[in-house]
Structure 1
Amino acid sequence: MLRFLVPVLAALLLLPMDAQATERMRLGYGRLITNDAIAEFRDRERTGSYVSSRVWGPEWTGRLPDRFGQLIELRLGVELLAPASLRRPRPGSRPWAGALSAGVHTHFERDSVEYSVGAAIYATGPQTHLDDLQRGLHDLIDATSPSDQVLDNQIENGFHPTVLVETARSFPIGARTTLRPFVEGQAGIETFMRVGFDLTFGDITRGELLVRDSTTGHRYRVVQNTDATGFGFVIGADMARVSDSVFLPSDRGYDLTPRRDRVRAGVHWQGRRASAFYGLTWLGKEYETQPDNQLVGSVRIKLDF
């Protein structure tokens, strides 16, 4: 696996250095914050994440380019996962985990099929100092911090090369509704195959570049069309067969659920000088001893000066 992943990552990292690099310009920037505290006000399981993307490519025309490597996305991410109790987790609870990631992705379209191909490196364990970050933030707002027992049992230090491929196709339904089924596969930090759909209502996000958040499945705006104003609504769902997860190691006795489900809904708002997004995502159980499903919230606010 490592002998396959590293060359793919290296090839993507070298894409900006090829002859087409002179044709690229900075096209946009997107980000998304996700936390269970802005949905059900509890710290547990997929407790928090942050992802940001910067994109370079040829002049944006409202459609993806037709060649691999013309449009390049640099994606940075942070994710925290925690047991249901941060002080005294019951037996079978997930281990605390923190992950930092940096990846390079390319997006293109051929014969009406949209492709997203990427590779990333994930760092886990105390070396990330995300445990210190969560403790500091929780102390600042006077919230419960993870105990020494929880952090001593966290996922250990490691580096995990990961590749991700998504294919999708958009089908207009009427004048202002679009159905976009997709298939996604990943190998690395978590290895899975996933199928799902996104349904978009309204003109917001039409002719834009959106990329998928790994925690929730929400697609966040990176290249925006500021001419459209008002509201847009999205709903989506997917299910995955996860065969391996660094966050839930089998050698610690964790049994993954046969299926991992997500259901989400969100609203975009676009004004003349500002835009915002809020979404909710229901996350099904990921391992057999997980106490319950959970609900997380996602938000993005952009102000143009």
Structure 2
Amino acid sequence: MTRLFAFALCLCAGFSSTAMAEGRERIGYGVLFTNDLIGDTKDRWRTGSVASSRVWADGWTGVAPEGFGDLLEFRFNGEVIAPESLSRPAAQDRPFVGALSFGLHTHFKPAHVEFAVGADLIVTGAQTGLDDFQDYIHDIVGERNISRAVRRDQVDNAFRPAGVLEAGRSFEIGRARIRPFAEARGGVENLVRAGADITIGSLMQGELLVREPVTGHRYRVVRADKPGLAFILGGDIAYVDSSDYLPARSGITVRRDRTRLRGGAHWEGPRGGSLFYGVTWLGEEFDQQHGGRSWALCSLGCVSDKNSR
């Protein structure tokens, strides 16, 4: 795990130097933490994740630039996926997954449609050290540790490429903004998705938002630094062709449809601090998944600072 973090630090440093050498400056940063234990108090399946983004561009005018590659985002994601029971999983439950991803993405708006395109390298397996990290957290909160059988059957060590393309357009309806979108993902999970996000309130206008892959929440990366409050609602449905996180050897059947519903609130204080709190309902991802209809994830977004270097 130490080698992976060293690799990530070198990648960040190299990307930052390259971006600045091309005349760009860092214009934003954002991070979103997600965990299901504080959602429905049950720790299983898409149990926890963190998403973090750093953005470089030649300034910010309130909208994404027209050209592909003019705005660059370095994205880091870490995720733990677990069976319903870490000590005695059912015979047909999903395997444990520890996944770290490092990616380069770009956001641009050539006309009325906003595009986000990127590629990620996803590292999976025990080499990530996330199984040990899960045990460390469970020791703190008094939850059960991962059994040897779960560790042995987790998704194997691998480096997996992945790509994503999203297109969306915003419409003003009174004080609300509705943004339908379509998304395609390939690599670790092959799927297409369609949905919409609704924002009520003036906050987040003229800002860059990035979609977190697990919940679908969009977190603030470039802020307008205007105090206020905004409520968000959203949902989407996906057609799933395949998933490396649900291998055939586990004896489970991937569901072709995957549904997400979410809601939350963004707050910006008068002195520049910001906070997000959201809840997401996730539908079942495989046919043998019992109780998926009560699966809730809570998300917390931290301060993003568009002026930090």
- Verify same fold: TM over 0.5: yes
1:253 aligns with: 251
Distance 1:57 1:114 in 2: 16
SS in 2 for 1:38: coil
Check whether the contact 2:92–2:250 (CA below 8 A) recurs between aligned residues. no
For residue 180 of structure 2, what is the aligned residue in structure 1? 181
Question: What is the percent sequence identity of the aligned residues?
Answer: 46
CA–CA distance in 2 between the matches of 1:178 and 1:100? Answer: 33
Once the 2 structures are TM-superposed, how far is the Cα of residue 251 of structure 1 from its aligned partner? 3.6
| Partner Cα separation in structure 2 for residue 97 and residue 69 of structure 1 | 32
1:280 counterpart residue number: 279
Contact 1:36 1:46 in 2 (8 A): yes
| Correspondence for 1:192 | 191
Match of 1:292 in 2: 291
Q: How does 1:11-160 map to 2 (within 5 A)?
A: 17=18, 22-160=22-160
Mark the CA change 1:286 to 1:139 in structure 2 (over 3 Å): closer, same or farther. same
CA distance in 2, matches of 1:14, 1:188: 23
What is residue 3 of structure 1 aligned with on the other side? none
The CA distance in 2 between the partners of 1:265 and 1:70, in whole Å, is: 31
Give the deviation of 1:252 after TM superposition: 3.0
Task: Tell me the TM-score normalized by structure 1.
Answer: 0.91
The question of whether the paired residues in 1 share the 8 Å contact of 2:28 and 2:222 is answered with yes
Deviation for aligned residue 1:302: 2.3
- In the aligned structure 1, how far is the partner of 2:118 from the partner of 2:303? 26
Provide the secondary structure at the position in 2 that maps to 1:77. strand
State the match for 1:6 in structure 2. none
SS at match of 1:37: coil
Residue 272 of structure 1: how far off its partner (Å): 1.6
Runs of 5+ consecutive residues of structure 1 not aligned to the other structure: 1-12
1:16–1:72 Cα contact (<8 Å) kept: no
Report the Cα offset of residue 207 of structure 1.
0.5
Q: Matched residues in 2 for 1:288 and 1:173: separation?
A: 39
Query: 1:51-80: CA deviations, max 9, x gaps?
Result: 100000021110110000000000001000
Distance 1:103 1:245 in 2: 19
Shift of 1:220: 0.1
Paired position in structure 1 for 2:161: 161
Q: CA deviation at 1:250?
A: 2.1
The amino acid across from 1:249 in the alignment is P
User: TM-score if structure 2 supplies the norm length?
Assistant: 0.90
Is 1:235–2:233 an aligned residue pair? yes
User: Shift of residue 16 of structure 1?
Assistant: 8.2
SS of residue matched to 2:109: strand
- 1:219 corresponds to: 218
How far has the Cα of 1:150 moved from its partner? 1.2
Give the match's secondary structure for 1:127.
helix
Contact map agreement 1:230 1:271 (CA 8 A) in 2: yes
Counterpart position of 2:7: none
8 Å contact from structure 2 (residues 93, 250) kept in 1:
no
Shift of 1:22: 3.0
- Distance, in Å, in 2 between the alignment partners of 1:221 and 1:165 is 19
The answer on whether the counterparts of 1:38 and 1:298 sit within 8 Å (CA) in structure 2 is no
**Partners of 1:50 and 1:303 in 2: how far apart?**
15
Aligned-pair distance for 1:21? 5.2
How far 1:203 sits from its partner (Å)?
Answer: 0.9
How many residues end up aligned between the 2 structures?
290
286 and 225 in structure 1: CA distance in 2 versus 1, 3 angstrom threshold: same
Answer whether contact 1:92 1:289 (CA < 8 A) is retained: yes
Measure, in 1, the Cα distance between the counterparts of 2:184 and 2:302: 30
Structure 1 runs (4+) deviating above 4 angstroms are 13-18
Q: SS in structure 1 opposite 2:132?
A: helix
Q: In structure 1, what is the Cα distance between the partners aligned to 2:114 and 2:303?
A: 26
